[in-house]
Amino acid sequence: MLESLSLLQLVLMALVLILAYLVRGITGFGSGLIAIPLLAQMLPLSLVVPMVGLLDYFAAASHGVKHREAIAWREILPLMPFTLVGVVTALYLFKTIHAELLLRFLGGFVLLYALYSLFGREPEGGGTRRWAIPAGGLGGLVGTLFGTGGPFYVIYLHLRGLTKTPFRATVATIFLLDGASRILGYFLSGFYSRDTLMLAGAALPVMAVSLYAGGHIHTNISQESFRRAIAFTLAGSGMALLLR
């Protein structure tokens, strides 16, 4: 697999990872949403998703969890059983659904998320813990299939009305727990091949430098303009996957 990649493909992959982890360094999320649909144009989804999952976990672990005393465990505990159900279901689908069909699903999801980013409204508080069922299930399912399950957890915590500090501490903890369960699932299902681990190892320095640079970039671009630029990028990559 690795021997068949051209120099141009390797350069493009590096540029995708630089963009994805610069964005994560600036915003704290979004690396999987950017990297996976773009890398899937060049590599099999069954290689891309476990590789980026590993990189994302290292990125999340490097930031750690600040304000641990503010973690809302009462919101995390209802999520996790359904997250695990989603992870197991996704691993089964990964093995049984044709790769091209999975790419179409990924393209559709990324396009819908881009439209939500452009036109959707942030959910207000007041939702009950019953929302943990779809949020956990879809977070685990979509996260394991496409590496992009974070939005479901974010929406759930917004529905539960968490304030800024508990929200950040809780979502960081969820990402670590969710990521660990997905990585274990990929490992037990045999997705971490020699090629996947070699690519992840080669990508690790690129991820680390980009993440650090993103965390130290001071930009005059407004948060709204930045969010819209990312949404248009996602819309383009989603359309490309649907039309390939």
**DSSP three-state, residue 50:** helix
Closest to 39 in 3D by CA, of 163, 152, 223, 200: 200
Tens-digit pLDDT profile for residues 64-83: 677 788 888 999 999 999 99
Contact (Cβ atoms closer than 8 angstroms) between residue 47 and residue 199? yes
pLDDT tens-place values along the chain, 244 residues long: 666 788 898 899 999 999 999 888 877 777 888 899 899 988 998 899 999 999 999 988 887 677 788 888 999 999 999 999 999 999 999 989 888 888 888 888 888 888 887 887 766 666 788 889 999 999 999 999 988 888 888 888 888 888 878 888 888 899 899 999 999 999 999 999 998 999 999 999 999 999 888 877 766 667 677 777 778 887 887 887 787 6
User: What's the CA gap between 10 and 15, in Å, rounded?
Assistant: 9
Mention every residue, 6+ apart, whose C-beta is less than 8 A from residue 140.
Answer: 82, 83, 84, 85, 86, 87, 89, 90, 149, 178, 181, 182
Mention every residue, 6+ apart, whose C-beta is less than 8 A from residue 239.
Answer: 107, 111
